[in-house]
């Protein structure tokens, strides 16, 4: 089992204490071998990672970087790679660990580059990253000066992946917890910045999700929202009949004007559209570290502007907004 005691110690007697109070009862079902048959293999790989002396760490490079090829011997590097490959598929990254290049499905650094110039300065802030995956963006937030970063994702694999990177990177007041937003105490009002990236379209009730996000923020805190959108006017929203880009759990994809209204009706102010970008097969693709289907398999073979179901191909918008 992963040791979460550093997190408990870090948030003790702070406004985040309620998360620590509820976490223990959630860990057992999240880390159940009956629910996740591969869990013993993941934990064994984590435990087998070699111990190495600290070397150069860069949280601001495109790939979260620890050392380089000469920073350990070939046998140790091979052991690192063998252990990390036990944690495939790697979806968010990239990472470079003592010369082991983890080429993840997503070039998550591209998304960070689109976001970083539009958000409030993270220096000294307490930050929440919802649906954080392996925690790649959490490390970038720490690199940008955040005082404390908490990522949440219900997948135990992603939590183990984060622990594997933390084994080499160190703590940096960055934690990934096996939670969904529904597990957070209500009306927490404890975060200066909340990121929700790639989550909204998976929620059956998007406005309830936006309200939950607002209630996580301190007054004056900033929401950074990234989600699928469609071209269209105010009031237009796509609700797929069944799947969207082969995903079953896509519920509502709004136009940008509609999403702005959703944010307004959910109690946000200072709403700004920062970016709209079409997702490309260069940004999301299969790799040797994620060998399943990816975006190229989700698009119509004769028309990359449409999904295999005939819907508009994925386009993503970034909004920022403030809790009054």
At 283-306, the pLDDT tens digits run: 999 999 999 999 999 999 999 999
The answer to whether residue 264 scores a pLDDT higher than 90 is yes
DSSP state of 201: G
3-state secondary structure at position 202: helix
Is the Cβ–Cβ distance between 217 and 323 less than 8 Å? yes
The answer to whether residue 166 scores a pLDDT higher than 80 is yes
For the chain, what are the domain ranges?
5-322
On the question of a cis peptide bond just before residue 94, with omega within 30 degrees of 0, the verdict is yes
Nearest-angstrom CA–CA distance, 152 and 198: 13
The answer to whether residue 218 scores a pLDDT higher than 80 is yes
216-241: average pLDDT? 98
Which two tokens mark 113? 């580059």
The answer to whether residue 26 scores a pLDDT higher than 90 is no
pLDDT in tens, 121-161: 999 999 999 999 999 999 999 999 999 999 999 999 999 99
* Cα dihedral 290, 292, 295, 296 sign: positive
The answer to whether residue 34 scores a pLDDT higher than 80 is no
Residue with tokens 């183990």: 160
**164, 165, 167, 169: CA torsion to nearest 10:** 180
Which of 272, 314, 243, 288 lies closest to 90, judged by CA? Answer: 288
Fold of domain 5-322: Rossmann fold (3.40.50)
pLDDT in tens, 39-96: 999 999 999 999 998 789 999 999 999 999 999 999 999 999 999 999 999 999 999 9
Confidence of residue 116 (pLDDT cuts 50, 70, 90): very high
Nearest-angstrom CA–CA distance, 174 and 146: 9
The pLDDT assigned to 190 comes to 97
Question: What phi, psi does 319 have (nearest 5°)?
Answer: -115, 145
Confidence of residue 32 (pLDDT cuts 50, 70, 90): confident
Buried b (16+ CB within 10 A) or exposed e, 267-276: ebeebeebee
């Amino acid at each position: 089992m992963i040791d979460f005691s550093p997190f408990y110690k870090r948030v003790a007697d702070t406004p985040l204490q309620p998360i620590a109070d509820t976490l223990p009862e959630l860990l057992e079902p999240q880390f159940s071998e009956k629910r996740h048959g591969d869990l013993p293999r993941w934990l064994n790989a984590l435990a087998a990672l070699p111990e190495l002396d600290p070397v150069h760490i860069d949280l601001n490079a495109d790939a979260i970087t620890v050392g380089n090829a000469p920073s350990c011997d070939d046998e140790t590097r091979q052991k690192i790679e063998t252990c990390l490959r036990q944690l495939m598929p790697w979806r968010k990254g990239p990472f470079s660990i003592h010369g082991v290049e983890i080429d993840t499905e997503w070039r998550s650094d591209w998304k960070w580059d689109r976001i970083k110039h539009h958000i409030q300065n993270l220096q000294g802030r307490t930050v929440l990253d919802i649906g954080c995956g392996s925690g790649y963006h959490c490390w970038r937030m720490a690199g940008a000066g955040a005082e404390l970063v908490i990522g949440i994702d219900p997948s135990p694999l992603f939590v183990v992946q984060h622990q594997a990177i933390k084994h080499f990177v160190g703590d940096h007041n960055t934690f990934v917890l096996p939670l969904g937003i529904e597990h957070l105490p209500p009306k927490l009002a404890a975060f200066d910045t909340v990121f929700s990236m790639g989550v909204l379209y998976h929620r059956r009730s998007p406005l309830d999700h936006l309200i939950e996000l607002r209630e996580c923020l301190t007054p004056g805190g900033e929401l950074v929202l990234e989600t699928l959108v469609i071209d269209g006017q105010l009031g237009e929203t796509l609700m797929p009949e069944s799947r969207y880009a082969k995903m079953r759990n896509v519920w509502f994809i709004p136009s940008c004007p509609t999403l702005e209204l959703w944010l307004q009706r959910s109690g946000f102010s200072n709403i700004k559209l920062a970016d709209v970008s079409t997702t490309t097969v260069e940004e999301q693709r299969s790799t040797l570290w994620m060998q399943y289907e990816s975006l190229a398999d989700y698009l119509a073979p004769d028309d990359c502007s449409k999904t295999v179901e005939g819907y508009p191909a994925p386009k993503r918008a970034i909004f920022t907004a403030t809790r009054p």
